């Protein structure tokens, strides 16, 4: 079963310094039909104005992934990550994947220190398997060449293939597709998939997606990804 969710169906918030599209219910956006999918709880497409950001705030018992598309994001937290500006660990740029396990509790901030440049990124929350784990941070870089014409594992429950490690039964893949490039991914019994098209256009199991669209996949044996036009896609493999 395939359910196409159009970009226009997402929630939207304009805070001036922050413009955000919500794939699932979040903050003031509430949609009883979009409370999450499997362990996937949040996908926010955020744009942060230059010189602004999220002040220090707390999280607990959530796996939080940041995926930067344009610009950069400076992360600083209560477990010692980040210097708040400049280079080094905690500054996330395109190609980087950051995972913060909030666990028993962590406080952090995220800022766009680059003048004259908007930071465009995805904020992703996945519910953990266990509550109250020690908070932790991990950041890895995945080159464009690793994602070209294929699905590259970037987050998993066991850190396979150099992916960031999640405290959740979930696997997250990223891929870049254009022209004749195509990929297939098998879905094991008892697994579901959520496909989020970051940009461009793409066909998945015969369904055409445009930027911001998503596809919920249940009881399908595989995904067939093809027909990309400057497409960047995220694929979540989740427990049903």
Lowest-confidence segment of 42-46, 61-65, 89-93, 195-199 by average pLDDT: 89-93
**For residue 196, which phi and psi values (nearest 5 degrees)?**
-120, 120
Contact 155/99 with Cβ under 8 angstroms?
yes
**Chain centroid to CA 103:** 19
Name the average pLDDT for the chain: 95
- 101-153 pLDDT, tens digit per residue, is 999 999 999 999 988 899 999 999 999 999 999 999 999 999 999 999 999 99
Contact 110/75 with Cβ under 8 angstroms?
yes
Contact 126/166 with Cβ under 8 angstroms?
yes
Alpha-carbon distance of 40 to 238, in angstroms, equals 8
Tokens of 188: 């094991």
| Whole-number Cα distances in Å, 36 to 39, 55, 141, 186, 235 | 7, 26, 27, 22, 15
pLDDT at position 83 is 56
Number of other residues whose CB lies within 10 A of the CB of residue 58: 10
Residue length of the chain: 240
The full set of domains in the chain, from first to last, is: 2-239 (2.60.120.10)
Categorize the per-residue pLDDT at 87 as very low, low, confident or very high, splitting at 50, 70 and 90.
Answer: very low
Categorize the per-residue pLDDT at 85 as very low, low, confident or very high, splitting at 50, 70 and 90.
Answer: very low
Nearest to 80 by CA among 133, 122, 134: 134
- 172-216 pLDDT, tens digit per residue, is 999 999 999 999 999 999 999 999 999 999 999 999 999 999 999
Q: Give the pairing of strands 63-70 and 96-101.
A: antiparallel
């Amino acid at each position: 079963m395939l359910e196409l969710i159009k970009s226009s169906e997402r929630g939207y918030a304009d805070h001036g310094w922050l413009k955000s599209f919500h794939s699932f219910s979040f903050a003031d956006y509430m949609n009883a039909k979009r409370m999450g999918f499997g362990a996937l709880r949040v996908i926010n497409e955020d744009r942060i104005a230059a010189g602004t950001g999220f002040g220090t705030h707390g999280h607990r018992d959530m796996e939080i992934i940041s995926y930067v598309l344009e610009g950069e994001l400076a992360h600083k937290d209560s477990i010692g990550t980040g210097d708040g500006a400049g280079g080094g660990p905690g500054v996330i740029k395109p190609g980087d994947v950051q995972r913060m396990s909030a666990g028993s509790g962590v406080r952090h901030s995220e800022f766009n220190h680059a003048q004259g440049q908007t930071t465009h990124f995805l904020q992703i929350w996945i519910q953990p398997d266990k509550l109250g784990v020690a908070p932790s941070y991990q950041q890895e870089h995945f080159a464009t060449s690793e994602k070209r014409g294929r699905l590259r594992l970037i987050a998993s429950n066991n850190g396979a293939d150099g992916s960031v490690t999640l405290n959740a039964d979930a696997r997250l893949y990223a891929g870049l597709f254009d022209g004749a490039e195509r990929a297939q991914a098998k879905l094991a019994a008892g697994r579901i998939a959520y496909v989020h098209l970051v940009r461009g256009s793409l066909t998945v199991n015969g369904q055409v997606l445009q930027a911001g669209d998503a596809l919920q996949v249940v009881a399908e044996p595989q995904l067939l990804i093809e027909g990309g036009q400057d497409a960047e896609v995220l694929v979540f493999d989740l427990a049903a």
